[in-house]
Amino acid sequence: MDLAGALAAAETTSPVESLDVVARLLRDRLQAASVSFLIVDFTGSSVVRLGAADDVRSDEPPRRISLPGTLYGDVVRTQRPAVQREGTGAVRVVAPVTNRGDAIGLLELFLPDHPDEDAMGQIGVTAHALAYIVIANRSFTDVYQWGRRTRPLNLAAEIQHRLLPTSLACEAAQFTVAGALEPATHVGGDTFDYVVDRDTMQLSVTDAMGHDVEAALLATLAVGALRRARRAGAELEVQALEANRAVVDHGRRGFVTGQLLHVSLRDGDCSVRQRGASLAAAPETRKGRGDRSRSGSTLRGPSPCRLPGAAAGPAIG
């Protein structure tokens, strides 16, 4: 099975059943006793096995399978497939389902014999296709969200997770960026965001005042204003001013602290905006050196660091 064939098969059915269609094709081709997909939960410490579409019960809590000390955990950590014979019986194969460093889940098969190079190639291609299938279909159904919720999210966490980037990690030749909310089920006003352009990467890390829903709503204002300004092509200073204006106008006397970063993917040069009380009028840095802003506050920015392969700049992730 090639990548195009797997994706074409998934498109012939509903978003909920697309994983099952691809799994059945792989099972028949490799004569596997079973093929299943396991999704990594919000905590990053467990996986959940997603069954056939008519077996998914969104009103029942998913069964958590802990990662530490297991073959699943080894595959997620190393991002390499593993083969293990189960006693004198079937051979178990577990492959990572990952897209650009974002560990989405695992593909697990039980085969009658040890897989040869061709079979492992088909498993790898199918696992890669499953990553694209999950990314393409998770906006159409709550099945994948259900699988990731091994513990209930409070309302603030529900809001905060919607503010995060669609993928929590991204790998490329010049950089690796990754982030997570911890604890995943009960969070305050902490958020992060990133976007990659042709020659640059922009990041933001923000913290809204307060706790629970009040902080989550304030974070929504800040992140929404930052994204709106960024997508309009605004520089960091204008992004910060727009976020500050949104918080002042609609934030009910709240405040947000944060860092905005603009990283050149050509040479690793980095500009940073940071302010202790608001996002506005923060000073600019180059390679970790801070200047004083007009208000006299001093930048408490990140220390100098380096992008892989770049002359200078920050190593992200």
Residue 302 confidence (pLDDT) above 70: no
Fold for 3-148, please state it.
Beta-Lactamase (3.30.450)
- What are the structure tokens assigned to 229, written together? 């300004």
Mean pLDDT across 288-295: 34
- Give the three-class secondary structure for 294: coil
Which helix (H) or strand (E) segment holds residue 208: the answer is strand 200-208
CB 276 within 8 A of CB 257: yes
**What's the CA gap between 174 and 206, in Å, rounded?**
24
What is the mean pLDDT of the segment spanning 85-100?
89
**Under 8 Å between Cβ of 160 and 191:** yes
For residue 258, which of 204, 297, 219, 295 has the smallest C-alpha distance?
Answer: 204
Using DSSP's 3-state secondary structure scheme, residue 23 falls into helix
pLDDT at 113: 92
Q: Is the pLDDT of residue 61 over 70?
A: no
Alpha carbons within 13 angstroms on the beta-carbon side of residue 313 total 23
Q: What is the mean pLDDT of residues 65-92?
A: 91
Q: If you average pLDDT over residues 293-309, what whole number do you get? A: 34
Q: Which CATH code, of 3.60.40.10, 3.40.50.620, 3.40.630.30, 1.10.490.20, is assigned to 155-290?
A: 3.60.40.10
b (16+ CB within 10 A) / e for 171-190 = beebbbbbbebeebbbbbbb
Domain boundaries of the chain, sorted by first residue? 3-148, 155-290
**Closest of 242, 244, 238 to residue 262, by C-alpha:** 238
Write out pLDDT tens, residues 236-273.
999 999 999 999 889 888 889 999 999 999 988 998 88
Tell me the pLDDT tens digit for each residue of 138-164: 889 888 888 888 778 889 888 988 999
Higher pLDDT, 206 or 315: 206
